[in-house]
Amino acid sequence: MLDAYLMEWGGMLLRWLHVITAIAWIGSSFFFIHLDASLRPAADIPPGEGGRAWQVHGGGFYEMRKYMVAPAVMPAELTWHKWQSYWTWISGFFLLVWVYYAQSELYLIDPAVMALSPLAAGAIGIAALALGWLFYDFLCKSPLGRNDVVLGLLGFGYVVAASWAFASVFSGRGALIHTGALMATIMTANVFFNIMPGQRKVIAALTAGEKPDPKYGKAAKQRSTHNNYITLPVLFLMLSNHYPVTYANSAVIPVLVALIIVAGALIRHFYNLRHADHAKSPWWCWGVAILALWLAFWLAMASSPGGRERLGLSPPATAKPVLLAGMALPPVEVSTIVSGRCAMCHAPEPSWPGIQIAPKGVLLHEPEFIATHARAIKVQAVMTHAMPPNNLSGMTPDERRLLAAWLGSTR
């Protein structure tokens, strides 16, 4: 059982690190975007070559100055902003490996979609992230990349197509997290392979006393803009795996992803323009974003098994999960305990007052479901007593011991 505790604690610590680094990264990126938009002309900086902004924070006033492409001489001290991004990617990658590749049978592989081996599933995931970045980079450098709007639309279509591809090999939650991971990999790779090398070349030119080439700044701006617009959709996709209502039906995942990108990008667009000039806030962005979110909500609900039933579209989902090789059905006494103490909430039609769909999408009303959720049952009802919540259904210590005995003999 030690391994199960380790997996849970490891996941918790990695997630902690990931959230902290992501806050630092997204926070500084939002800060600089706002700063860029709020720059005003300065007397001693020629027009088009930078500007100045005043800010107040933490008891002091800051005077910020921006120099495009670079200041005349190299400053003695320079702070770089890159490790927030790198560490977000590194911690995110290890979290992906920890949760989705090391426990792929629980989270990544859905035999009803494709009966992959854990090794194949992990290899597909990692290869997709690497190749996905290469393809995006190729798009940006191709002649198509010269037109920002064309490139933006192509990138949008590309990510939606990728989500479709992920949904045809992985579980619903696996597909959404990989779509988010692909976009986030593009974001960090933009920093690592494009923005940073460009900045280093500018600095090399400055120290050599030459005038830096503005083309590096331009390429970096294009990549930063992409990063800016995909930030909010990426965060939605990163959180989606905690909400089964977002991934209940793989067939609609590409449309959901498209709607979320539209909503997230437009909300960013609103703030990008608003921070430059409050009077020009594009309020229509909110209208379209809310419409997109509303459509996403309806689409997800109407296509999910429980929602279909509520709308009178089809009978309740009764398809039993396919057991993976090596997985055994629980003994009768275990099934009886779980269906007696858990299934009032964790069933297609929960009987517990106030619970309308199975919490977290976890169904425990039949032996096949109990077998596929063995690990989760171990974490929730044996290692901890998180379930039943506040022991509402009155599970006895003897019943937990019986569960523990069975779970000790399963993977």
- Smallest CA-to-CA distance from 187 within 104, 52, 93 is with 93
Interface residues toward ligand HEC, by CB under 6 A: 338, 341-342, 344-346, 352, 355, 359-360, 362, 364, 373, 376-377, 380-381, 387-389, 392-393, 395
The amino acid that residue 66 corresponds to is K
Q: Which is nearer to ligand HEC, 226 or 341 (CB)?
A: 341
Nearest alpha carbon to residue 26 among 194, 212, 238, 182 = 238
Closer CB to ligand HEC, 178 or 375, in the complex: 375
* C-beta closer to ligand HEC: residue 33 or 381: 381
Q: Cβ closer to ligand HEC: 258 or 344?
A: 344
Shortest distance (Å) from residue 114 CB to ligand HEC: 23
Quick one: which of 254, 251, 225, 235 has its CA closest to 183? Answer: 235
CA 317 to chain centre: 28
Decide: 232 and 264 in contact? Cβ < 8 Å: yes
Nearest distance in Å: CB 178, ligand HEC: 19
**Nearest distance from C-beta of residue 337 to ligand HEC, angstroms:** 8
Shorter beta-carbon distance to ligand HEC: residue 109 or 187: 109
124: nearest Cα among 183, 167, 154? 167
Q: State which amino acid sits at residue 191.
A: V
Q: Measured from the CB of residue 323, what is the shortest distance to ligand HEC in angstroms?
A: 18
CB 212 within 8 A of CB 70: yes
Rounded to the nearest whole angstrom, what is the least distance from the CB of residue 384 to ligand HEC in the complex? 10
* Distance in Å, CB of 119 to ligand HEC, minimum: 25
- With b for 16 or more beta-carbon neighbours within 10 A and e for fewer, the 378-390 pattern comes to bbbbbeeeebbee
Task: Name the CA dihedral angle for 190, 192, 195, 197, rounded to a multiple of 10 degrees.
Answer: -140
The residue behind tokens 């098994």 is 305
Give the nearest distance from C-beta 343 to ligand HEC in angstroms: 8
The region, left, alpha or beta by phi > 0 then psi within -120 to 50, assigned to residue 394 is left
Q: Output 26 or 364, the one with its CB closest to ligand HEC.
A: 364
Tokens of 159: 């990510």
Of 173 and 268, CB closest to ligand HEC: 173
Q: Which residue, 265 or 345, is less far from ligand HEC as judged by CB?
A: 345
Cβ proximity to ligand HEC, 173 vs 226, nearer residue = 173
Query: Which of 163, 169, 98, 96 lies closest to 132, judged by CA?
Result: 163
CB of 363 to ligand HEC, least distance (A): 10
- Please classify residue 275 by burial: count the beta carbons closer than 10 Å to its beta carbon, then call 0-12 exposed, 13-18 middle and 19+ buried: middle
Contact 55, 62 (CB under 8 A): yes
Query: For residue 203, how far is the Cα from the chain centroid?
Result: 34
Residue closer to ligand HEC (CB basis): 168 or 393: 393
Let me know how long the chain is: 411
Token pair for residue 254? 């590409």
State the nearest-atom distance from the C-beta of 385 to ligand HEC, in Å. 9
Tokens encoding 121? 């599933």
Residue whose beta carbon is closest to ligand HEC: 342
